[in-house]
Amino acid sequence: MSEFSATVAFRSAERWLRDKRFPEGIDAILSRSNGSPQHSNLKSFLPGRVKRWALDAGPIPVFLTNDRRAEAAVALIDKVLERPVFNLVRGPGRAVIPRAGLVVSLGTAAGNPAEPHEICIGNVSGLGDETGWDDDTVDEQGRFRRPLCVRIDSPAGHRATFDQVVHEFGHALGLGDHFPGFGKPQGAPAVDDAFWAALVRLYQLSPGDEYADASPPA
Ligand SMILES: [Zn+2]
What is the Å distance from ligand 1's center to 124 Cα?
Answer: 9
Q: Is the pLDDT of residue 20 over 80?
A: yes
3-state secondary structure of 73: helix
Radius of gyration of the chain (CA): 16
Do the beta carbons of residue 106 and residue 153 sit within 8 Å? yes
- In the prediction, which pLDDT does 130 show? 87
Residue 49 DSSP symbol: B
3-state secondary structure of 218: coil
The candidate with the shortest Cα–Cα distance to 127, out of 103, 93, 154, 145, is 103
What is the Å distance from ligand 1's center to 34 Cα?
Answer: 13
What is the Å distance from ligand 1's center to 164 Cα?
Answer: 8
What is the Å distance from ligand 1's center to 213 Cα?
Answer: 22
Q: What is the pLDDT of residues 52-97, one digit of tens each?
A: 999 998 999 999 888 999 999 999 999 999 999 999 988 655 556 6
The candidate with the shortest Cα–Cα distance to 205, out of 68, 81, 37, 42, is 81
9-202 belongs to CATH 1.10.10: no
What is the Å distance from ligand 1's center to 204 Cα?
Answer: 22
What is the Å distance from ligand 1's center to 141 Cα?
Answer: 25
Note the ipTM here: 1.00
What is the Å distance from ligand 1's center to 172 Cα?
Answer: 10
Do the beta carbons of residue 105 and residue 152 sit within 8 Å? yes
- In the prediction, which pLDDT does 98 show? 67
CA 69, CA 77: separation in Å to the nearest integer?
12
Supply the mean pLDDT for the chain. Answer: 91
3-state secondary structure of 179: strand
Share of the chain above pLDDT 90, in %: 74
The CB-side HSE value for 30 (13 A sphere, CA atoms) comes to: 29
Q: What is the pLDDT of residues 186-216, one digit of tens each?
A: 899 999 999 999 999 999 999 999 998 655 5
What is the Å distance from ligand 1's center to 208 Cα?
Answer: 23
